[in-house]
Structure 1
Amino acid sequence: MPKPCWAVVSFKIEPGEPGSGFIYSSEVGVNQIESRYQKEIERTLPKALQQGIKGWEVTDLKITLVNGEHHNVHSRAGDFAVATPMAIMKGLNELGTDLLEPIMEFSIKAPEEYLGKISSALTKIGAEIQSHSIIGSKLKLLGHVPLATSLDFSVKLASLCSGKAKYRARLAEYRKSNNIVTTDYRGISPLERAKYILQARKALNV
């Protein structure tokens, strides 16, 4: 039989500012959880956030260690490496998470005569046109578009404008997605606590 997990951890999880990544802090003294074990918790957190309850990486949140304990005789660093993902996933499951999608900032330059066709094509892929200008007979459009709907737009635009248009795009931001797309958890989820501990102890074949 595998050894039990001699580690107790409690986290406070809060939303962070967009683009902030994750910020970790501890309110627990070394008398509750020894420094070496707290370092193991901090080291394990990035891996614990690689897959959330929807299967995607979790970011833009604040995580604070607020309580916990170790056993003076039986605790090992590996126990906290096991307990940390289980506590994080439990918290995310209770709080819920929002799925974000990448939004691209685009610019299009083309002959003015193609304005109608280009505008129609952009509408179909959910683009937002922020500005447009016409200098001479040349048209310039600036705006934002979801990456998911615009992956092959440069090819479509070239066909639409007989190769006379130029399209450029770069990542601008992430926004909450209205389309909830989940992916299966790779491996055994920490929510399956018994199986997860057995796997971590190399006592379960998957």
Structure 2
Amino acid sequence: MNEHEKMLAGLPYHAYRDGLPEMRMACKIRLRQFNTCPPEDLKEQDRLIREIMGSVGEHIEIFPPFYCDYGKNIHIGDGFFASYNCTMVDCGPIIIGDNTMIAANVTITAAGHPIHPEPRTQGYEYGIETVIGSRVWIGANVVVNPGVHIGDDVVIGSGSVVTKDIPSGVVAAGNPCRVLREVTEEDKKYYFKKRPFPEGSYMG
């Protein structure tokens, strides 16, 4: 098993062997093209992001700059949106469902290093699958740690550090992130806190 195969299997691996540096460099080159693409050239932006990532759904939008390590370990569904300065550390798979929205300055990690300094200084690291469900809204400046699974229909409050799994259908926030309450039918009435949708403006 080479280092690339170890990385994809979630095993400890060395990041500077077996073609991994070349893979990261190829990704950096494509990212530079995407991040400097003319803002009006949406067709080229879409082409580049599909070249960078492993799989991409329909009707997606990512505001540059966007950063990742390999790109090919990222899989996003239909209707995905990411605002400025999104970083995905994809040494392990990052899997995101449909109609999920990510605010500015969010970091999603599927990678880490051993806690003990000896293996860490010998160059060992690991990739662990991180999964985010469908219809999730992640607020600004959130960090999602490696190995976390976030369910469907979840809101993650801004500034949160998500260190553990979050179940479906909840609002969660904090450092460390914790469940605050469930998402309810009552929430459908309001667009912000207790401000109701104007009559006739929302057909939900």
- TM-score tier, shorter chain, comes to under 0.3
Choose between structure 1 and 2: higher helix proportion: 1
Tell me which structure has the larger Cα radius of gyration: 1
Q: What TM-score does the superposition give when structure 2 sets the normalisation length?
A: 0.22
Indicate the structure whose relative CO is greater, using CA pairs within 8 Å and at least 6 residues apart: 1
With structure 1 as the length reference, what TM-score do the two structures score? 0.22
